[in-house]
Each structure stands twice: as C-alpha cells, then as structure tokens.
Amino acid sequence: MPAKGAQRREQRAPTVNGSGAATPRSVTADVLVIGAGVIGLAIAWRAAQRGMRVVIADPDPGSGATHAAAGMLTPVAEAAYAERELFDFGSASLRRYPQFAAELTEATGLPTGFRQTGTLQVAHDVDDMAALHEHALLRESFGAQTERLTGRECRAAEPMLGPVCGGLLVSDDASVDPRLLTTALLAAARAAGATHLRQRARRLLAGDSAAGAELDEGTTVAAGQVVLCAGWASAAIEGVPAEAAPRLRPVKGQILRLRPTAATRAASPSPSFLNRTLRGLVQGSSVYLVPRQDGEVVVGATQEELGADTTVTAGGVWQLLRDARALVPGITELEFAEAAAGLRPGTPDNAPLLGPSALPGLVLATGHFRAGVLLAPLTADLIADLLVTGILPAAAAAFSARRLAAQPFEHQDAAPSWR
C-alpha cells in the first residue's frame, strides 16, 4: 500500500472538539483511530507526525485501563515462562521510552512522570525467596541483567523496607505516570495535526474493506484505514465481521493511590517514600509499590477474571494494603487518596494483537493486557509504519492480529453490553 496522507495535509479536518466548534456530520481522514487510551493516542501521534490525516474517536480519552494503570515499565520483573517474545518486545519498547517521553515533553511542554530508577523485587519469607530464585533463573535464561541482593542489602537500598529475605535488583527499569502520559499524548497528537472527536464509535463502516465508522452523535468518519484500539471494548464495535473481531476478555485490576500527609512530609525532607519501584512476594501473593516524584505511592494490583466488573471491593483493598504493609510498614502513615479498578484487555494467549485483521483496512492494536503502557512506544512505531507503508514490520510478526482467528474462544460472553 502506498504512503498516504503526506501530500494531502492541507485537506486536514479541523480540530472540532475541545475547541468549542460544532462537530461536523461527516469527516474524511486517512486513518480513524477508535479509542484514545495509551495505545490509540500513541499511534495517532506517530501517524500524524508522519503526515497522515488522523481522526481519533473517543468520548473520554484516557479513561480506560490506562487511567487505572500504575505505569511500571518493568519487562524483566514481568518475564514469564513461554513469553520470551513478549519479554523481547517489552525490552525493546522500554529502550524507546527515554526518547519517547522526552519528545512528548518537547512537543507539548507537558510532563509524563517518566523516571528510570530501577526495580527492586523482594521476598517476604523463605518460600517467597525460593520463588524469586526460580524467577531469577528464568530472567537469566532470557539474557536479562539482574543483581541478587541479601535482605540486608535490600534494606540498605530501600530504608523503608521491613524485614525481607532477599531480592533482585534491575537498574534499567522505569516508570511513567499514565494519566500525565495520556494528557501529553493527546496534546501531542493534536499538535501534530490529529483531530479528536469526543464521540464513541458505534458501528464500523465496511464493505469488502473498512471504510470508516459511524459515531454516536451521528458523525460519519470516512477513512481508508481504521485502527481498532478501544481496549477490552474493541470486541464490541458493531459492524466488525466475526472473523476480523479481536478475541478479548476484560481482566479486572484493583489499585490504590497513597499520598504523603503534612506530618509525613514534615518528618522527611524528601517527597520520595521509596527510591524505586518495589515489587514483592508476600506468602505467594504479589504486590507492587510505585513511587512518583511528588511522593504519591501507587499500590497494585489485583488480577481478577470477573468479566466487565469494576467494583472496588473491601477484600481487594485489604489484600493490597495487607501485602504492601508487610513489606513497607510505614505506608500506614500515608493518606489513602484513591482506590480504583480498571479492565485490562486480555487475549486468549495474553499477548497483544497487532496489525492487519481479516478485513482489509481494519488494523488491530489491542490486547496489551498487563503491559500496554510499557508496550505503547514500540506498538505505535510499528503500527504507524504499517499505516504509512502497508507493511507490518517483522518486530510485530509474533503478535499478528490474525494468529488466533482459527482458535475457539470461551470469553465471548465477556463482551460489554453497554451501547
């Protein structure tokens, strides 16, 4: 497919939302991006930078899983058996983050909260230490650099830690604030010329190929290429032929935000409660604490297969606080600022769906499950390449959107019922 858009920049659709202007009944674009989470916004930004006329449809940008996400950029700590390709993909995406975040801030003047301070993964008891040891072997088999620390060394690195048996230190790991990131991405996409329509895509327009979409308030977007990145709800857009529809299930995650109080600020001159992301195993249960520059500490997260349920439960909050306190007793001094739940877009094999679907012109970029924030820079570059050249780069081959098409899927009942 030839490069589209660069020669037609002057026909760009106006920015109609957020500027107070009326929404037109019909808009034409090279690319319609459905969904403005971290994935859709990053793709829209990169595609607009490459001269494509991009329209983004989303009634509430950044409100999906991205809003709940902790923003850990930790491919090594997330490494799992049989997920070598995902580990490599995550590591490659992490390598792009410093430039990605710097470019965003340069383009918009907005912060992203990006920090490359590393991860310390600790074990609470000897059984947890045995599990961590197994994980160290896995990481090492993937070629990852991990430093093994004794309990005492862990406490020297993180003075707020309670007693632990030992840990693993990864110094390249990073974190970002997903809420700041989506605000910056939306601003950058607009600055690069993308149009955001604050409407939900109701129905895909398609014959032999995708032709755009009809939005909730009656606007029609005509586009030769449509990128479906509406998180777990990507499975619910009308008009998508069954063979092209992404196979997704929502995986609930509860997560907490704690902040320093006046008393804790007075007691410590540094706003940072922890020096780096802390992940822990507490009697087999996983928990993490992600410190932000302003002193906020994000504590996450549950992983629950409950369909599209976003109830924050007493049990979820209790479990997170219990395990976080077992590692860092001082967290009980912090203000309880927020408890939230989000729905991760999970595929049957827990890896993303990237690239052309069975319907020509319909591109999938969804299913990033636990790591969409981490995977956004690389996903965006690869999908922008596809949109401009018609060729999906080899780096995305393992995550082909069509790889699961022939397999049965047990989670269709998890599709959202809202319209």
Ligand X SMILES: Cc1cc2nc3c(=O)[nH]c(=O)nc-3n(C[C@H](O)[C@H](O)[C@H](O)COP(=O)(O)OP(=O)(O)OC[C@H]3O[C@@H](n4cnc5c(N)ncnc54)[C@H](O)[C@@H]3O)c2cc1C
d(C-alpha 72, C-alpha 117), whole Å: 11
Residue 8 φ then ψ, to 5°: -120, 20
- According to DSSP, the residues that pair with 175 across neighbouring strands are 72, 115
Chain-centre distance of CA 165, in angstroms? Answer: 31
Between 263 and 418, CB nearer to ligand X: 418
- Taking the complex as a whole, how short is the minimal distance between the CB of residue 109 and ligand X, in angstroms? 23
Nearest residue to 71 (alpha-carbon basis) of 186, 173, 187, 189: 173
What is the closest distance, in whole angstroms, from the C-beta atom of residue 35 to ligand X in the complex?
A: 3
**Pick from 222, 162, 198, 185: nearest CA to 11:** 222
Asked if residue 198 lies in contact with residue 216, where contact means CB atoms within 8 angstroms, the answer is no
The single-letter code of the amino acid at 389 is: T
Torsion angle, alpha carbons of 23, 29, 34, 36, to 10: -70
In the complex, the smallest distance separating the C-beta of residue 59 from ligand X, rounded to whole angstroms, is: 6
Q: Select 233 or 392, whichever has its Cβ closest to ligand X.
A: 233
Half-sphere exposure of 400 (CA within 13 A, CB side): 10
- Measured from the CB of residue 176, what is the shortest distance to ligand X in angstroms? 8
- Please say which residue, 72 or 289, places its beta carbon nearer to ligand X: 72
Nearer to ligand X, 37 or 356 (CB): 37
Side chain identity at residue 57, one-letter code:
A
Min separation Cβ 230 and ligand X, Å: 4
In angstroms, what is the minimal distance from the CB of 72 to ligand X?
3
In the bound state with ligand X, the residue whose beta carbon lies nearer, of 69 and 321, is 69
Tell me the two tokens of residue 141. Answer: 């088999």
Looking at the Cβ atoms of 28 and 66, the one nearer to ligand X is: 66
Using the minimum distance from each CB to ligand X, give the nearer residue, 129 or 371.
Answer: 371
Considering the complex, what minimum distance in angstroms separates the CB of residue 133 from ligand X? 24
Strands (E), 207-303: 210-215, 220-228, 249-259, 277-282, 285-291, 297-300
Which has the closest alpha carbon to 293: 69, 106, 112, 414? 112
Residues that bind ligand X (CB under 6 A): 34-40, 57-58, 60-66, 68-72, 200-201, 229-231, 233, 237, 253, 255, 300-301, 342, 344-345, 366, 368-374
Give least dist CB 177 to ligand X, A: 11
What H or E segment, with its residue span, contains residue 30? strand 26-34
Write out the DSSP string of 102-135.
Answer: HHHHHHHS-----B---EEEEESSHHHHHHHHHH
Minimal distance, residue 392 CB to ligand X, in Å = 18
Query: Residue 129 or 225: which CB sits closer to ligand X?
Result: 225
Q: Is 153 exposed, middle or buried (0-12, 13-18, 19+ CB in 10 A)?
A: middle
Residue 68 or 388: which CB sits closer to ligand X?
A: 68
Shortest Å, Cβ 387 to ligand X: 16
- Closest to 234 measured CA to CA, from 39, 355, 374, 367: 367
Smaller CB separation from ligand X, 3 or 395: 395
Residues present in the chain in total = 419
